[in-house]
Amino acid sequence: MQIVHVHVHVKPEFVEAFRAATLENARNSVQEPGVVRFDVIQQEDDPTRFILVEIYRDDEAPAAHKATAHYALWRDQVAGMMAEPRSSVRYRAVFPEPAGWELPR
């Protein structure tokens, strides 16, 4: 199981357009067999900052996600909306232990 937090800082004039494009990407992403969760969260005290919390079943699933048409569309739509390049941090689940998890699907 791989967990990725994607940190995004959006130009203020693009917050709503970014939200719309990102929600469409998230709705499609959760339909992928390798995606366990795809959460979109927005910072309360600075609405120009978002984190995408992506949880994948295995190490191959992030690459499969990036090969989808909906990801390519999202990437191209939001490229000019960024106030700075997005960054990501990868995590591994520690607790509860992933081997004991009952994954949906």
Query: What dihedral angle (degrees, nearest 10) is formed by the CA atoms of 50, 27, 30, 72?
Result: -80
| More reliable by pLDDT, 79 or 92 | 79
pTM of the model: 0.88
Handedness of CA 62, 64, 67, 72 (dihedral sign): negative
For residue 87, pLDDT beyond 80: yes
Bridge partner list, 4: 54, 90
| Pairing verdict, β 35-42 and 87-91 | unpaired
Q: Cα-flanking dihedrals φ and ψ of residue 52, to 5°?
A: -100, 120
